[in-house]
Amino acid sequence: MSNEIIVKGNPNISNIALTFDDGPGRVTPYVLDVLRKYGVKATFFCLGSCIEKRITIQEYTGRYTAGSDIVKRANDEGHLIAVHSYDHLALPGLNDDEILNNSLFRTKNIITDLIGKTPVYVRPPYGSVDNRVNSIIKELGLKTILWSCHSADSSTEPDVIPGGSLKYKYGPVDIYNNIMRNAGNGSIILCHDGHSGAYDANFGIVSALDRAIPELQKKEFKFVTIDELLATGNYVICNL
């Protein structure tokens, strides 16, 4: 496996890959519902810590589900499960052992044990990667995937109260517009179904996708998983 960092699929083919970071979380089941509605497959870059959590599904009823059950559902519905990290720490700030064993290898094993498939793709938190990190990723048999189109669903306003709840900068219309403005042949679209392993994702992504997906399908774009996107070759890489 090469040390390539992939940012986009084949620019000559009308495939698009929707990708989701920082989950599983409370938003994930709603995202899965929208994807199922339109027959779309996506790729989920999961945090190991969130897979191991109990997640509130209905805030006021106190009903919980396991993060592992959400990931199982995504896998059963044909989505691709990939590695984000264990706890969303920026990998270049960690030592080799922390990256290899406490973050990536740990999460890779959690996913493998859960769904019976070994993940082959990773997206480092914040897209932060250097040559040392990428060499460790290669050692684990993983391939680094970044993105070419940012939905901006995770952008937040500055903290009013340090450590307080998040206020997202963009609502559904803005997120929809970001996707429609920037999506094209081979796009890898960055979305979120959690936020840094500590907060709920922006629920605006759900209605934004419910509007954007059918419109892009009308433009004859096909939504594929990352492995399907790369299978056509001629993908775009970036150099460190």
pLDDT of 35-44, one tens digit each? 999 999 999 9
Dihedrals φ, ψ of 79, to 5°?
-85, 160
Instruction: Considering the candidates 21, 153, 200, 210, report the single residue annotated as catalytic.
Output: 21
Report whether pLDDT(151) > 90.
yes
Report whether pLDDT(58) > 60.
no
Residue type at 61 in one-letter notation = T
Dihedrals φ, ψ of 181, to 5°?
-70, -30
Q: What is the CATH number of the domain that holds 83?
A: 3.20.20.370
Virtual torsion, Cα 62, 109, 116, 58, nearest 10 deg:
10
| Mean pLDDT of all residues belonging to the chain | 92
21 labelled catalytic: yes
DSSP code of residue 79: P
Which of 63, 46, 66 is closest to 54 using CA atoms? 66
Number of domains observed in the structure of the chain? 1
Name 118's Cβ contacts closer than 8 Å, sequence gap at least 6: 108, 111, 112, 141
Name 163's Cβ contacts closer than 8 Å, sequence gap at least 6: none
* Residue numbers of the domain that contains 181: 5-238
Per-residue pLDDT at 174: 95
Instruction: Considering the candidates 79, 84, 88, 192, report the single residue annotated as catalytic.
Output: 192
